[in-house]
Structure formats: structure tokens, C-alpha cells
Structure 1
């Protein structure tokens, strides 16, 4: 695979100053200092002996509690970070990719670690995966339940996590050094964030994202996520995230739908990846979910084309020509890793990096 490596002589990338040059503990991952509204409650710790990926937890008043899945502590937000090889040996700055997990998922899974590490071998890129809850939907909820308090996931990620990472790691803390991507619910989140804050990101990528909230099927998927105990306990009312889902009360859904609001992506790198579910009789649930995500991507592509916005759209169908083991189903690790592999090549051709 071809990785473009360019010099950063005049870009100020090699200079280090302030908290962003925070030292590591002996043999440990970088140290993190409270700030930007985040309190560190569990210090960074390596996931394994390879010492590329570490996890830590924070608290924030933007999401003081949330519906938890097994093993989670309400209000404690796990963040997983994968560093480029040699981060501790070379005093330089790196671009950052923020990757948003799907539903119901969490950032610190084995699959996510594989996806980040395998696709960035030899690549000067930091990857950050923040907690988005099993049903957070990467937005500031319109009607959060009183028992949980604010569910301002967008504020948490864009106004707190990004400057917090910039303050504690050697990043290129500019738009040209930052990308956002995500899969499934996270693909929605990536486009949602990029459209709301185009000043933050130079590239956006969606892997089988549900991008069209005007689709009744996509609305049904969001509503189902509010009611399924597997997405977190307690469950929440159906109107919690985007408001009532029926006309004429569905303005929140219409405003937050990425497919119809692509204009802010102009001048940004844009990529979408999706299968079509393949054989719908095999693993039918995951096949149908992917097929309907595919439909929302088609709508988004059509809006991008109509707006004259350049983009990459990879429709890998049943997956047979995309990656070994990929059969075009939803959330298949082999498909996602192939998506990320392709996406990393694209964004490293755009982002400023060493």
C-alpha cells in the first residue's frame, strides 16, 4: 500500500510547547491533565504489550450520566487512543483521526483496536475513539430524561475531547491536521459533526452509516435503539434524542439529517463506504441493516452530486471484491478494516503530517 509522506518544514509541526508535550510516565503512555471541562478518573494504561493503544476514562458535566451497557459505569467515559509507531521516540506532531463507534458498541473493543492498529502500520497518525454510549447518536439530545441529566454528546466531543487531546498529545491542532470517521451510528455522527463544524475537520468518512433521518426505516432504527435494553439501561423515551418522530413535530429529525445538509462539506474530503447486505437469507438481520444503510448512502451521494461536491463513494455490494471474509453485512470486521484501510490512504493524502 502506498503511503504519502511529506515534509512539514514551514508548517510549525516540529515545534513543541506547553501541555501538548506532556511527558510519559516511565514506560507508560502519555500523561493527561484535567482541563477543557474533563476530569480524568482513570489514568491512561496500555491495552497490551505492543504499547501503541491505551485507554483512560473521564467525566464531564455535558454528559454526567448515561444509559450503560454491561461493564460500563454511568458518567465514566472511556476513550481509546492509538499512537503512531515511535511516538515516544520522535519529537514531532501528528494529525488526528477521531473515530466514532456504532450502536450498540463501545470505543475500546478488540475489533476497533485491530482496525486502528492494522491500518496505520507505518502511518504517522493518531486515532482517538471516544465513548458515544450505546444510543448517544452523537448529538445534543432535545429531551434528555431528568434521571440522566444533559446528554450533550456533541458538546462533549467537539468542545471538550478535541481541545483536551490537543492539550495532552503532540497533535497538529488545526483543521488540516484533523479528520472524523465512524461506522454505523458513528458514520451518522461523523457526517453530523463535519457538517456542524467544518472548521474542525479536513476529511470525513462514513462506514455503513445511517445518514438519512428522513428515511422512515432509519427513524425506526433510532427509535428501536432508545427502547432496546441491549443498547443501555435505563431505556429512554422515543422523543429523547431528536424529538417526536412524526410530522409536524419532527423538525429536529429533519434539521439533523446529514443526507440533506451536505453543503458545509464543500472543500472537505468526503468518503462513504457501504455494502448492500449480500445474500439477504444469510445472517438476515445484519444483511437487512446494511441494505438499509446502503439506501441512506445512496440518498446522500445524490445530494453530494447535486451540490457538485467531490467525494469518494465505495459501494462494495456483497463484499466479494472488497476484502476476504467480507460478505456485505453490517458491522463485519473484515469489511470495516478494509474500509478503514482505504480511508486512511485517502486522508493521509490530504492531512498535514510528518
Structure 2
């Protein structure tokens, strides 16, 4: 065989080998170009100061940051830039920025003291929507102690703390303008954990025209409960909740009767009437063994009491709802033992809630 013929046969063999490898996907890591996250445009009172970037190892979840005059500065925790609000988004598998498909959105509010980019949010969002569940998840910054309300007496050094205005009046229309959402009540839900559970129910009751479903994961729903009231007051004084700390009456005003009007008015448990026609779900444990992590056990026991009061008001108002009281967690999820803020419990809550959303919201 001539040298030229041998060379041609070798090149042909290499070509076949390369084609087979390509078909089998064995060169994907070397040849695939990563999809870029969406690019956001300023609007609705928000200025984008950090464009979306994928979170670790993901091409579904990204974070970006905005500024707003509604909360121009806040008590920042470690790794937060005062005044910059990080927002985390998880897109459905197969989301196409140029396509015609539109998706429902779940807004999920973090607890105290926490951040939207806490890692657990990404896990909950991606795991609960794996396998093609057509749902966008959005977690906005609520600060370590924002409490998802417009503060009554914010300290001068911080300025306005209008968290409710920021989230409902700015973040929601901003997301609708920049992502392929179903921008209607039947395409939108709100949920939250602990402080975020309070926020979810407070927002749903304040603006029922915005949401088709509300969910609370161990939410502190009754501000008339003195232990829950004490938790809010304590959050104002904990440096771990953000610096600077704030006066006890900064958020809801004086907690002492008869000056506690705002506390009473913004307590979700007693104001469920506006939830008529909305899907409602609550999840709570009982704290389990009090000798095992007593702080988290007592915390869950307190929020359970606030959920029971809310349930009673829902029943009295004739509002259909889902109430999952999983006790010590042994039958709810592996690794869940009924304590407050347990990842295993919260993941199970989210998985169940997303199932309700897919049955109750409009979606592709």
C-alpha cells in the first residue's frame, strides 16, 4: 500500500471515530458552549447593579443584584453589601429566553436571619422542579430582619425600610418584564419559611389580586402570640441579624397595648378573609424531642401554635386550605425530626407545595 493510500485510510478512520464520539456525546465537555443567563433591564424603580450569573455548577439558578429607593440601605449581614439586594432565580429545565412559552412564578421569602443566596434555596428550587416541572422560582432579599413589611419607625441612619413596596410594587413587575412569566394572579404564588412565612401570608392578604396560591413553611403567623412577638423584638437587637441593630419599635411600632395597633393589624392569623378563592397551604412540625436542640424545638413549637390559630380562623371563614402538621417529622421526610429550619423538613415542604402549585396554577 502506498504511503498516500495509508494516510487517507488513517484520516478516514479518525473521521469515523470522531463522528462516533460526537454522536455518543463523549466530546460534549470540550465542545459545548455554556448558555448565558438572561440579561436584565432596569425598570419599575429597580437599578441592576449586578447582571445575572449562574450559581455554582448550575445552568438553571442564577443571582443578580439591584438597588431601590424603597430600601436604599439596610442592616447588612456578613457577605451583604448594604443597599444592594441579591435576588436568586431558578428557571425551569428547557427555559428558552427567545421562545413563546410562559411560566408561572413562585416567590419564596427566606427566614430570619438568612439570605436568598443561602444554598438551601437553590437545592429546594432545583430539586422540587426537576424532571421538567414548568415553574420559575424567585427568592428576593428580605434582610436578616426586614420582616416583609413597611417599617413604622425606621432609624434615620437607614432611611425608609419599605420592604413591602419593594417586593410587591417593584420586584414582581420587574421579573414579569424580564422573564417569560404568566403575569397574572393564576400564574403567581408566594411562599416563605419562618419570618418568610409571615411575609408570604401578609403579602397575600394585603394584595390578594396578585397571588393564586400562598404557602407557609413553619411561618410565624400570629403577632398576637407573645412568644412570636418576642421573637420579632429579639431580632431587632441581634447583631447576627444585621448591622446596625435597630430600636424595638422600628418595625411594627410599640408592642405594648394600647399602642400595638400595627402589630394587630398586620397579624396574618386574624386577617384571613381576603384569602377566599386563593390556594392556601401551611406546614409545621411540633419540635420533636425538646432535649434534642431545645432552641430549634421550642421555636418550632411556637410557630406551630401560630399556625393552629391561623387554621382555626381559616375554618371559621370557610376557606379551604391544606394544613400539614408533621409532628416530629418521622413520617414526613428522612432526616426531619420536627425542628425549626431543618433542611430535610423544608425540602419536603417545598416538594409537596410545588405539587399543589402544579395542580392549582396556570402553566404550560
Q: State the TM-score bracket (shorter-chain normalisation).
A: over 0.9
Q: Does 1:330 align with 2:340?
A: yes
Q: Does 1:76 align with 2:84?
A: yes
* Structure 2 equivalent of residue 318 of structure 1: 328
Task: Between the two structures, name the one with larger relative contact order (CA 8 Å, sep ≥ 6).
Answer: 1
Q: Does 1:256 align with 2:266?
A: yes
Q: Does 1:28 align with 2:36?
A: yes
* Structure 1 equivalent of residue 301 of structure 2: 291
* Structure 2 equivalent of residue 215 of structure 1: 225
Query: Distance between the aligned counterparts of 1:46 and 1:112, measured in 2?
Result: 14
* Structure 2 equivalent of residue 60 of structure 1: 68
Which whole-Å deviations, capped at 9, do the CAs of 1:4-37 have from their partners, x for residues lacking one?
xxxxxxxxxxxxxxxxxxxxx9821001000000
Size of the aligned set, in residue pairs, is: 330
Residue 64 of structure 2: SS of its match in structure 1?
strand
TM-score in terms of structure 1 length: 0.92
* Structure 2 equivalent of residue 86 of structure 1: 94
Q: Is the 8 A contact 2:76 2:243 kept in 1?
A: yes
* Structure 2 equivalent of residue 43 of structure 1: 51
* Structure 2 equivalent of residue 201 of structure 1: 211
Residue 182 of structure 1: SS of its match in structure 2?
strand
Which whole-Å deviations, capped at 9, do the CAs of 1:230-274 have from their partners, x for residues lacking one?
000000000000000000100000000000000000000000000
Question: Would you identify which runs of 4 or more consecutive aligned residues in structure 1 move more than 6 Å?
Answer: none
Larger Rg: 2
* Structure 2 equivalent of residue 112 of structure 1: 121
Which whole-Å deviations, capped at 9, do the CAs of 1:286-318 have from their partners, x for residues lacking one?
000000000000000000001110000000000
Which whole-Å deviations, capped at 9, do the CAs of 1:204-244 have from their partners, x for residues lacking one?
00000000000110100000000000000000000000000
Query: Distance between the aligned counterparts of 2:46 and 2:34, measured in 1?
Result: 24
TM-score in terms of structure 2 length: 0.90
Q: Is the 8 A contact 2:35 2:59 kept in 1?
A: no
Q: Note the 1:276-287 alignment, pairs <5 A.
A: 276-287=286-297
* Structure 2 equivalent of residue 103 of structure 1: 112
C-alpha RMSD of matched pairs (Å): 1.0
The one of 134, 141, 158 equivalent to 2:144 is 134
Residue 195 of structure 1: SS of its match in structure 2?
helix
Cα distance, 1:49 vs structure 2: 3.2
Query: Distance between the aligned counterparts of 1:146 and 1:50, measured in 2?
Result: 40
Q: Is the 8 A contact 2:197 2:218 kept in 1?
A: yes
Unaligned 5+ segments in structure 1 are 1-24
Q: Is the 8 A contact 2:195 2:220 kept in 1?
A: yes
Unaligned 5+ segments in structure 2 are 1-32
Which one has a larger percent helix, Structure 1 or Structure 2? 2
